[in-house]
Structure 1
């Protein structure tokens, strides 16, 4: 009986939590310290709190203690910006592991429903011509509105239909398809297909394909302009390191985390919180697991390289 009690005490000591990290320690961080630990600056985080406060204000309880909006978002940002475990995050913020789990699920959903439509969208009005001009200035291609590509997001082996998620490189993944402008801002994101599915099938089932088919004046361009989307994927994975491996069994939750990470990255860019310093790290990982195939999967021209992509012209 005594030995059992000692074992329980030792286990509790190993899992001891940090007290008042968010309340007392974080406010003392310099700007560079906060960015190093959460991959965003203080101004961006404060803007995020203001944007999401109406949806998170009712709070979440850890036991009998209500968690304020700032702490909720710090926990979520810490999760998506690192690969550390739920238990470690729980210990850092002085909450239980189940609380971290529930917060990630809840906040990912809120970001997808409330922020994604505001920050990831096709250009309209004068922004259309401005985007076309920026692509032409970048590589000399006229009429380009967006560059599209896909990325495999490594995931934990699912409990069902595991074989469907094994991609051509032999690991389990979910496919993220995205479109960006010349300045590496997301214009469209589409996620959820298992890694074994061919790129062309993903594209043909997306809203992007339907939109392109209504506009017969689309063009195909060399992979040099495609570099915009490749660099964006690199920057995304450098800032949101959780996307290097999403360790979840629930596919819907995994997709929500992926899309909310894209939205959070775009939110940072819209707040002049550049992700350039994350490019090298993210691009290295992107090269190791991707090199996506030609998206449309049809031999439209022998002269086009396999890496060529589809772009949508002015509406």
Structure 2
């Protein structure tokens, strides 16, 4: 009697009649991925009916959260759509994000072991002919509202307030390390040096387990990044184009750009599917961080379930197609040798 009457006609009547394609187009996840998320979080965010009030069912709670993440819609709009209170929408989003980070993140975003590293290196080598590479690293800016504390630190070079999402992906586009939350004004190299990834890889033990001889040089596993990152034994970047590069160095840069396109395409799919990352979130800083991390976990889940989501009208949205995508296709047939350039890098070339 104290609850404001609302209509849940859309969720109760329209959504159950969705075809699999319609469900994918509306929620941006397949019904299989949706049901998987429900089954994994139901014990943490599920509620029971009481003598005074009916609870919001688990499937609706997950649907509300996924709708918010997939569309970036306002809380009030989602409240009207699902026929629930404004505070209910906010609670569903918060609880879902907290549960995904606690329950699903350790399952779907994991540091690889020696066997997994070998598998990833084989995939990179077979697809792009980049031996011993196990991942591509890059950073992306997530728009946020200006925080109350130190707002100038979060004002990025792009002209708006943001936080930095640093991610490492394998050759298939799965995130296997994510760091999110540093202010938008922080340089990518500094984010890397202050992240747990730097501590985990700097001693060389993890990536140095399966070394191979390349042109007389023992090379362990390594990541690849853009010129903004510092060169390390476990982190390779392109040669600086001074106009005097050798043919081997040009080949190395070309191969590196081809392989590194996988992280740019992963960011493109991430932001294309979870639109809340494309525009400024109407929530506070800490929740923005958890939302970005949750979307990365959901990205891996959707990739594992082979969700082939495509934007209906890509020309009406931001162009998120990486410009180097064609390099990936050409790299499969191009036969130039990268070994000489790798040897130059490990023998002290191009700092």
> What TM-score results when the alignment is normalised by the length of structure 1?
0.81
Q: Which position in structure 1 is the counterpart of 2:286?
A: 252
Aligned CA-pair RMSD: 2.8
Q: Which position in structure 2 is the counterpart of 1:220?
A: 236
Structure 1 contact 151–233 (Cα < 8 Å) conserved: yes
CA distance 1:121–1:277, shift in 2 (3 Å) = farther
**Whole-angstrom distance in 2 between the partners of 1:16 and 1:287:** 47
Specify which structure has the higher proportion of helix.
1
Choose from 233, 245, 252 the match for 2:267: 233
Q: Does 1:81 align with 2:73?
A: no
Instruction: Tell me whether 209-218 or 182-191 shows the greater mean CA deviation.
Output: 209-218
Q: Which position in structure 2 is the counterpart of 1:114?
A: 103
**Whole-angstrom distance in 2 between the partners of 1:204 and 1:145:** 19
Deviation of 1:44 (Å): 1.3
**Whole-angstrom distance in 2 between the partners of 1:178 and 1:36:** 27
For residues 194-250 of structure 1, the C-alpha deviation after alignment (integer angstroms, 9 at most, x for no partner) is 101111111011111112211174241433211111000000001100001242342
**Whole-angstrom distance in 1 between the partners of 2:6 and 2:75:** 13
**Pairs within 5 Å for 1:129-278:** 129-215=118-204, 217-221=233-237, 222-275=256-309
**Whole-angstrom distance in 1 between the partners of 2:235 and 2:72:** 39
Structure 1 contact 156–249 (Cα < 8 Å) conserved: yes
> What TM-score results when the alignment is normalised by the length of structure 2?
0.73
Q: Which position in structure 2 is the counterpart of 1:12?
A: none
Q: Which position in structure 2 is the counterpart of 1:99?
A: 88
Deviation of 1:23 (Å): 2.5
Q: Give the secondary-structure state (helix, strand or coil) at the position aligned to 1:58.
A: coil
Deviation of 1:108 (Å): 0.6
Larger radius of gyration: 2
Q: Which position in structure 2 is the counterpart of 1:284?
A: 319
CA distance 1:219–1:125, shift in 2 (3 Å) = closer
Q: Give the secondary-structure state (helix, strand or coil) at the position aligned to 1:164.
A: helix
Q: Does 1:45 align with 2:34?
A: yes
Structure 1 contact 159–249 (Cα < 8 Å) conserved: no
CA distance 1:22–1:57, shift in 2 (3 Å) = same
Structure 1 contact 157–249 (Cα < 8 Å) conserved: no
CA distance 1:56–1:249, shift in 2 (3 Å) = closer
Structure 2: unaligned runs, 5 residues or longer: 205-231, 238-255, 324-346
**Whole-angstrom distance in 2 between the partners of 1:89 and 1:301:** 56
Structure 2 contact 168–177 (Cα < 8 Å) conserved: yes
Structure 1: unaligned runs, 5 residues or longer: 1-14, 289-299, 305-315
**Pairs within 5 Å for 1:288-303:** 303=350
Structure 1 contact 235–283 (Cα < 8 Å) conserved: no
**Whole-angstrom distance in 2 between the partners of 1:277 and 1:35:** 10
For residues 99-154 of structure 1, the C-alpha deviation after alignment (integer angstroms, 9 at most, x for no partner) is 11111111111101110110011222532211101111121111111110000001
